[in-house]
Amino acid sequence: MVPLQATITILVALGALAVALTSDLVRLVIVSSAYTLLLVVLFVVLQAPDVALSMLVVGTIGYPLVLFVAIRRDRADD
């Protein structure tokens, strides 16, 4: 395996662990977006530009907005 593939594989594994272990919600959104960006790099290294583009737009636009609004509604009800 090429060293680039091995490096990004290890980074994605560490990112997944970080997402599962973060408990503070706002920090979780940031860490999950960082994990998404690592996945985008992994998909580009695996020669899948369409999939990488899809993951990029969803992880930057769709996901953080939906999560932040859910967190805000959760806190506003308190």
Partner 1 sequence: MSYLPFVLAAWIFLVGIFGIVRSRHFIHLVVCLSLTQSSTYVLLLSIGYVKHGGAPIFKDVPLGTKAVDPVVQALTLTDIVVSVTVAALLLALAIQAKKHAKTMNPDELRPVRG
Partner 2 sequence: MTRRVRLALFGVAACGLAALLLWSITGLPKFGDYHGAYGKILNKRAPQERQTSNVVAAVVFDYRGFDTMGEELILFAAVMGVAMLLREPREEEAPVPEDPVRSDALRAFGVSLAGATLVLGLWIVAHGYVTPGGGFQGGVVLAAAFLLVWLAGSYRAYRGLARAPFVELAEGSGAGGYVVIGLCALLIGDAFLHNLLPYGVAGKLSSGGSIPLLNWASGLEVTAAFVLLFNEFLSERAVLIDPTRRPS
Question: Residue from 14, 26, 30, 53 that binds partner 2 (CB under 8 A)?
Answer: 53
Q: From the list partner 2, partner 1, none, which binds 72 (C-beta under 5 to 8 Å, kind-based)?
A: partner 2
Q: How far apart, in whole angstroms, are the C-alpha atoms of residue 46 and residue 48?
A: 6
Q: Is 4 in the site for partner 1 (CB under 8 A)?
A: no
Q: From the list partner 2, partner 1, none, which binds 71 (C-beta under 5 to 8 Å, kind-based)?
A: partner 1
31-40 b/e (C-beta count within 10 Å ≥ 16 → b): bbeebbebbb
Site for partner 2 in 30-49 (CB under 8 A): 49
| DSSP H or E run through 1 | none
